[in-house]
């Protein structure tokens, strides 16, 4: 689960003193090989003492980061892709020579789909392992659980999931989209393209779908002329019987079904929709919760025709993405699919590397400050930039689900959308 | 909310809503039958019931893959083969579980709760390691998809009809087995008085093993059928376990008729409420109803009269 820790962090702190006393210490069995040949490390990288003033796990040759996702429990289905993407990014960065001349080593901990456990492991990564950055979390609940830990021990978290917004922290970089980025462009598109006037909002019953639908409702009622919400409903997580709401949809005949259903419920919902004879090529359905990962379980033939609105699809046609998809499949197998969050997780290590190099330091405070304005032109989704509010500028795209489980991109915003985690007029 | 609709529209919607309730009823009965046998008849609190279902679902998935790749001409009927295989696989796993674990715990029914909960966690992680953490999509033969149009508005879902038919068939088979066969008589005898049943020459260990196996096998068939309506992943079994226990406990644990009556009550209440309220509120009201009735009638809806 974890890479070896040789206690080199303590070593580097005292290394300078040891070097000074080297003449007086002819036999130096205590020194590691790196300390015996310091010139090699210094030739390509700045001194550890200069780039690491707060005692993080940085040595002359490597730097330790943490990966904190659930690989067991209910969330493993979603978080596995993120772990794979982060490992791929770390591999690629190491192949290019690492960060400030240091190879990235990672310590992986399992959040086990249990929020208090996430907080526990986050503390371990920060306090025991002294990780210079942590890539992890997936659900908002897990992020909320670790946030106080990261703020107390001054760590840096790169969080990959699209989420409800209403949060901003010096210690977190949000590499997924916040709610307004994902929702507004999609609603405008469906109004423009499909002439949609009436919307039926559905969601699983927890914070992300509820906040997102609230933003959607405000936008529909206040900013889209002549449009209205004809129904809004929530279902407990794990709900598997949607026949009643499908009947209601048949009765109200909305122009658009706006669905934010997650997990196993998703599968039941789309299967029953299809069985009930609702043809998604005629009935417009827009979702913000279905990526290529979910379609694996739903089955392409059950969801073909539905529209999904997010920032990344595996089928994106650009050279960055082609390289990324090829590298991902080479590392994790031909049959793996790459969803929006997986791509966002891939951005984490790269953004961190770029930030560290801009700051010229691994110190958390300097990284937090240097993050604003970091640009990553090689991102698979295309050029992205970190906003001063620690979210990403990104484009929003609409994809139509195909029989083979991929999306066909039918719309892309012309410009990057500004992240706005505290939207005025939407609360 | 109904002022905008014509009478014809309303009546057809109520027809479809009634049908939705019947589908939910069939699903509940199918989920609960296996547990009614294990919990009701044997007194084992089987928390791993959902995982036995999911084993059946995975067997269905692999059967569908096998037919797709090797026998595409017979794909239309693979589901029947899959259900039989699911019954055998879950039944076999159930008998193995009984032999390794449950039989040591008959005198400590509460401990079966902990043991089977542990088993459910183990099985989930085994599925995750062996079959992968991602959910799999089971492809259905064409004839099982879509719906039959009865009128312009009223449509009847084919897989709903299929689940209903399957539920009736299995319920009838179980009823015959339990109440009309000599084996069923032995099962009931063991349930009522294990020592006495042993004294009159019934091999109680064997009866226990087959009863447990039968319950798990039915769970496997249910899991197989649920690939049509729900998800198939390592933890999907968790989606069903609460509803399953609810139905069995509410019905009165020892009575098959009670299980059916309770499935009917809960499903109709839930599906009607869901139509008028939102999904979460419907669930809350249904649960409150169940709690109130169980407070007034702790033994459940139906009870077998036994001298204690």
Contact B137 A298 (CB under 8 A): yes
Give the bridge partners for A409, in sequence order. A399
C-alpha dihedral (A193, A196, A199, A202), degrees to nearest 10: -20
Tokens in use for B206?
């064997």
The pLDDT-based confidence of A3 (bands split at 50, 70, 90) is very low
The pLDDT-based confidence of A44 (bands split at 50, 70, 90) is low
Q: CA of A232 to nearest chain B CA: how many angstroms apart? A: 8
pLDDT, position B305: 63
From the centroid of its chain, how far is CA B194? 26
Packed helices A243-252 and A264-275: angle between N→C axes, nearest 10 degrees: 50
Domains along chain A with CATH numbers:
8-177+335-393 (3.40.50.2300), 179-310+395-412 (3.40.50.2300)
Residue range B104-116, pLDDT digits in tens: 888 887 888 899 9
User: Within 13 A of A348's CA, how many CA atoms are on the CB side?
Assistant: 36
Instruction: Tell me how far CA of residue A148 lies from CA of A123, A170, A232, A421, in angstroms.
Output: 10, 12, 33, 19
Counting residues of chain A whose pLDDT is more than 70, the rounded percentage is: 89
Tell me what the mean pLDDT of segment B167-171 comes to: 93
Q: Cβ(B109)–Cβ(B215) under 8 Å?
A: no
pLDDT, position A39: 42
Which residues of chain A does B230 touch, with a Cβ-Cβ cutoff of 8 Å?
240, 264, 267-268, 271
Tell me what the mean pLDDT of segment A397-415 comes to: 95
Q: Which of residues 222-241 of B touch A (CB under 8 A)?
A: 226, 228-236, 238-240
Contact B134 A239 (CB under 8 A): no
CA angle at A40 for the pair A39 and A42, rounded to the nearest 5°: 65
Q: Cβ(A304)–Cβ(A402) under 8 Å?
A: yes
Q: Say which of A205, A243, A251 has its CB closest to residue B20.
A: A243
Report whether pLDDT(A210) > 60.
yes
* Whole-angstrom distance, CA of residue B210 vs CA of residue B53: 17
Q: Which of residues 152-181 of B touch A (CB under 8 A)?
A: 153, 155, 157-160
H helix runs in A195-318, sequence order: 207-218, 243-252, 264-275, 292-298, 300-303
Q: Say which of B135, B274, B279 has its CB closest to residue A267.
A: B135
The pLDDT-based confidence of A225 (bands split at 50, 70, 90) is confident
Assign A339 to helix, strand or coil. coil
Report whether pLDDT(A301) > 70.
yes
Greatest C-alpha distance within chain A: 89
Which residues of chain B does A303 touch, with a Cβ-Cβ cutoff of 8 Å?
none
The pLDDT-based confidence of A4 (bands split at 50, 70, 90) is very low
Q: Which of residues 166-205 of A touch B (CB under 8 A)?
A: 205
pLDDT, position B254: 72
Contact A72 B128 (CB under 8 A): yes
Give the bridge partners for A376, in sequence order. A384
Report whether pLDDT(A264) > 80.
no
Counting residues of chain B whose pLDDT is more than 70, the rounded percentage is: 95
Q: What is residue B282's DSSP assignment?
A: H
Tokens in use for A243?
């026949």
Contact B239 A240 (CB under 8 A): yes
Q: Which of A264, A290, A293 to mutate to test the interface with B (most CBs of B within 10 A)?
A: A264
Tell me what the mean pLDDT of segment A321-342 comes to: 94
Contact A72 B139 (CB under 8 A): no
- The model's pTM is 0.82
Beta strands in A297-422, from DSSP E residues, in sequence order: 307-310, 375-376, 384-386, 392-393, 397-401, 407-412
Q: Which of residues 29-68 of A touch B (CB under 8 A)?
A: none
Contact B17 A72 (CB under 8 A): no
Chain B CB within 8 Å of residue A293 CB: yes
Which residues of chain B does A77 touch, with a Cβ-Cβ cutoff of 8 Å?
133-135, 233-235
* Whole-angstrom distance, CA of residue A386 vs CA of residue A350: 12
Tell me what the mean pLDDT of segment A129-149 comes to: 94
Report whether pLDDT(A139) > 80.
yes
The helix (H) or strand (E) run that includes residue B157 is: strand B155-157
Chain A CB within 8 Å of residue B205 CB: no
Q: Cβ(A46)–Cβ(A59) under 8 Å?
A: no
Which residues of chain A does B238 touch, with a Cβ-Cβ cutoff of 8 Å?
74, 238
Residue range A186-207, pLDDT digits in tens: 999 999 999 999 999 999 988 8
Name A59's Cβ contacts closer than 8 Å, sequence gap at least 6.
A8, A9, A11, A12, A34, A48, A102
Tell me what the mean pLDDT of segment B290-305 comes to: 81
Assign A407 to helix, strand or coil. strand
């Amino acid at each position: 689960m974890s890479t070896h820790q040789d206690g080199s962090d303590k070593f580097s702190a005292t290394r300078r003193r040891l070097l000074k006393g080297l003449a007086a210490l002819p036999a130096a069995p205590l020194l590691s090989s790196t300390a015996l040949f310091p010139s090699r490390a210094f030739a390509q990288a700045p001194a550890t003492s200069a780039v690491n003033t707060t005692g993080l796990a940085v040595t002359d040759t490597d730097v330790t980061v943490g990966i904190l996702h659930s690989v067991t429990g209910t969330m493993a289905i979603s978080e596995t892709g993120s772990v794979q993407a982060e490992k791929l990014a770390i591999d690629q960065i190491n192949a290019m020579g690492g960060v400030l001349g240091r190879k990235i080593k990672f310590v992986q901990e399992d959040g086990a789909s249990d929020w208090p456990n996430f907080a526990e492991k986050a503390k371990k990564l920060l306090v025991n392992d002294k990780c210079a950055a942590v890539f992890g979390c997936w659900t908002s609940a897990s992020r909320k659980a670790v946030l106080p830990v990261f703020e107390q021990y001054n760590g840096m978290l790169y969080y990959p999931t699209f989420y409800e917004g209403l949060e901003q922290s010096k210690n977190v970089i949000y590499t997924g989209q916040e709610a307004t980025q994902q929702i507004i462009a999609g609603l405008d598109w469906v109004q423009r393209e499909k002439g949609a006037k009436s919307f039926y909002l559905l969601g699983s019953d927890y914070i992300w779908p509820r906040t997102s639908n609230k933003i959607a409702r405000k936008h529909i009622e206040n900013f889209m002329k002549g449009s209205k919400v004809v129904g809004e409903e929530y279902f407990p997580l794990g709900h598997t019987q949607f026949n009643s709401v499908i009947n209601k949809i048949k009765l109200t005949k909305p122009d658009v079904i706006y669905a934010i259903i997650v997990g196993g419920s998703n599968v039941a919902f789309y299967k029953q929709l299809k069985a009930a004879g609702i043809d998604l090529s005629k009935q417009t359905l827009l979702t913000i919760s279905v990526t290529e990962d979910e379609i694996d379980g739903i089955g392409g033939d059950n969801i073909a025709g539905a529209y999904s609105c997010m920032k990344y699809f595996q089928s994106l046609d650009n050279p960055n993405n082609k390289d990324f998809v090829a590298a991902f499949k080479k590392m994790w197998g031909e049959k793996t699919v790459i969803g929006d969050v997986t791509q966002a997780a891939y951005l984490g290590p790269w953004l961190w590397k770029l930030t560290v190099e801009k700051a010229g330091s691994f110190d958390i405070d300097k990284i937090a400050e240097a993050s604003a304005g970091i640009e990553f032109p090689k991102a698979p989704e295309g050029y992205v930039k970190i906003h001063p509010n620690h979210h990403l500028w990104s484009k929003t795209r609409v994809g139509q689900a195909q029989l083979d489980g991929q999306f066909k991109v039918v719309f892309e915003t012309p410009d990057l959308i500004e992240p706005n985690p505290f939207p005025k007029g939407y609360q | 909310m109904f002022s905008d609709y014509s009478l014809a529209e309303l009546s057809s919607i109520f027809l479809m809503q009634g049908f939705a309730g019947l589908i939910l009823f069939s699903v509940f009965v199918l989920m609960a039958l296996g547990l009614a046998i294990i919990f009701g008849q044997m007194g084992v609190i089987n928390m791993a019931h959902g995982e036995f279902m999911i084993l059946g679902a995975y067997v269905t998935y692999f059967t569908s893959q096998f037919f797709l790749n090797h026998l595409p001409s017979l794909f239309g009927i693979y589901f029947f083969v899959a259900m039989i295989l699911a019954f055998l696989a879950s039944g076999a796993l159930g008998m193995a579980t009984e032999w390794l674990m449950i039989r040591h715990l008959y005198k400590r029914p509460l401990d079966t709760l902990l043991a089977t909960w542990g088993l459910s966690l183990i099985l989930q992680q085994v599925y995750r390691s062996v079959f992968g953490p991602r959910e799999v999509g089971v492809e259905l033969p064409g004839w099982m998809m879509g719906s039959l149009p009865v009128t312009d508005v009223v449509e009847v879902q084919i897989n709903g009809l299929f689940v209903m038919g399957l539920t009736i068939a299995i319920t009838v088979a179980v009823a015959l087995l339990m109440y009309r066969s000599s084996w069923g008589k032995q099962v009931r005898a063991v349930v009522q008085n294990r020592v006495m049943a042993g004294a009159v020459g019934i091999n109680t260990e064997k009866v226990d093993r087959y009863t447990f196996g039968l319950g798990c096998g039915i769970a496997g068939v249910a899991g197989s059928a649920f690939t049509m309506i729900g998800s198939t992943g390592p933890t999907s079994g968790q989606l069903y376990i609460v509803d399953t226990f609810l139905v069995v406990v509410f019905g009165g644990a020892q009575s098959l008729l009670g299980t059916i009556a309770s499935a009917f009550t809960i499903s109709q209440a839930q599906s009607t409420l869901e139509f008028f309220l939102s999904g979460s509120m419907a669930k809350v009201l249904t649960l409150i109803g169940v709690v109130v009735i169980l407070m007034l009638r702790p033994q459940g809806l139906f009870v077998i009269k036994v001298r204690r």
